[in-house]
A and B are shown apart, each in its own frame.
Chain A
Amino acid sequence: MDLLERFAAGDLDAFESLFREHQCAVYRWIVRIVRDPAAAEDLTVETFWRAYKAHARFRADGNFEAWLRRIGTNVALDHLRTTRSYIELSDDFPAAPSSDSAVQKETRVAVQRAFASLPPRLRVVAQLGLIEEESYRAIAEALGISETATKLRMFRAVRILRKKLTQAGVTL
């Protein structure tokens, strides 16, 4: 019996192996959605907790990583629904350096506020697509929706973002 079959049967030792193998990937995915390292750790644990409880529904021949990513995305979405404020990344949290050093702080704040104002289901798409440059396919798989629906959400998100930014006097 392989690891996934043992997990599907409810074996905690098998789950521990899977947990240790996938925890970093799940964390990395979630932190890119919530942009809050501390919350992302808690949400990673919550993701595995939901996965463990749902072990009987997992098909052993299925893609465990994709399944986890979908659960993680839902957990992150639930988090965004309860916390609408935007978390500014601290300096000790590694992010790519801004390509334009002249970007004003006001613009940054306006962009962050505009993202925070998006409905969570649009925000996830915009964040992963616009900022993290994930493909429509990857986002669609993580959300369990079609690529067309993902594109539609992206266009709706961009329309709202542009409107909010224009209201804030920022043109991108």
Chain B
Amino acid sequence: MTDRELKEFAQNVRAAMPPIQRAELGRDLWPAFLQKTAAPRVRISWFDWALVALAAAALISFPGVIPALLYHL
């Protein structure tokens, strides 16, 4: 495709899907940012970590169960 063909194609695309000319932000986003920073993080309890460790240990000790687990997932 030549540059000229590309320009022509772009022109036709713009006719069907016009560019955004004036995209003005309607409000100050700083309060939204502060809200985001204040949002509580997802915390994982020690019990959940213990369960994960237990599951990992079980899989390492009995690797034969992995295909069976995958089959049932």
Spell out A's residues near B (CB within 8 Å): 16, 19-20, 23-24, 27-28, 31-32, 35, 37, 40-41, 44-46, 48-49, 52, 89, 93-100, 103, 107-108, 110-112, 115, 129-133, 154-155, 158-159, 161-162, 172
Contacts and interface: CB of A to CB of B under 8 A. Distances in A.
B20 to A, nearest CB: 5
A32 B17 contact: no
A24 B25 CA distance: 6
- Chain A binding surface, main DSSP class: helix
Interface residues of B, number: 26
A49 B36 contact: yes
Contact of B17 (A37, A45, A111): A111
Given A94-B21, A133-B19, A99 B14 contact: yes
A107 B18 CA distance: 13
Given A111-B16, A130-B9, A41 B21 contact: no
Interface in B5-60: 6, 9-10, 12-25, 27-30, 32-33, 36-37
A108 B16 contact: yes
B1 interface: yes
A158 B9 CA distance: 8
